[in-house]
Structure 1
């Protein structure tokens, strides 16, 4: 379930219209409609307000594998092998800027 669907579920579970919900957040009904149809996201301040006001977490709203209300805990991510992690980190650093490209290919030594 996507963010918009979860937001709509949360609003409807409380018997609120889009206009009621929008009034609480001090936004337009069109903004709520846009969020619920997955054509945009609220500002972080609004997301935090929604979480605090309705007793949900950001994971509840954004993570598809967690049911609304957080009844289940998602499985822990698998640990990457050390060499794979070092390679990924090296690739990341090498792509930060043109000046750092030589660092990712072993050109830098202490």
Structure 2
């Protein structure tokens, strides 16, 4: 899945319109539309901001071979602890 699709899916999962997401990101709605349409790419600072807003790693956003489901699986696995309290 490419970055544009991931941004769209994550935004919709949060229930935000493009306008709401744009306000949270400090950009125009047109910028969000261009990112989601694959016509432009957000700069690294915006990708870091998105990572924090959506609660996913930058790897999930940037690596085409990772899906949003991979992030959920990775997060769940890292939170599982053994009887000694170790991950």
Alignment size in residue pairs: 72
Query: Hey, what's the Cα distance between the residues in 2 that align with 1:24 and 1:53?
Result: 8
Moved more, 59-68 or 21-30: 59-68
Tell me the equivalent position of 1:21: 21
Tell me the equivalent position of 2:3: 3
How far has the Cα of 1:52 moved from its partner?
1.3
Query: Hey, what's the Cα distance between the residues in 1 that align with 2:44 and 2:66?
Result: 20
Gaps of 5+ in 2: 75-87
Query: Hey, what's the Cα distance between the residues in 2 that align with 1:6 and 1:54?
Result: 11
Tell me the equivalent position of 1:44: 44
TM-score, L = length of structure 2: 0.76
Superposed CA RMSD in Å reads 1.3
TM-score, L = length of structure 1: 0.61
4+ runs deviating over 6 angstroms: none
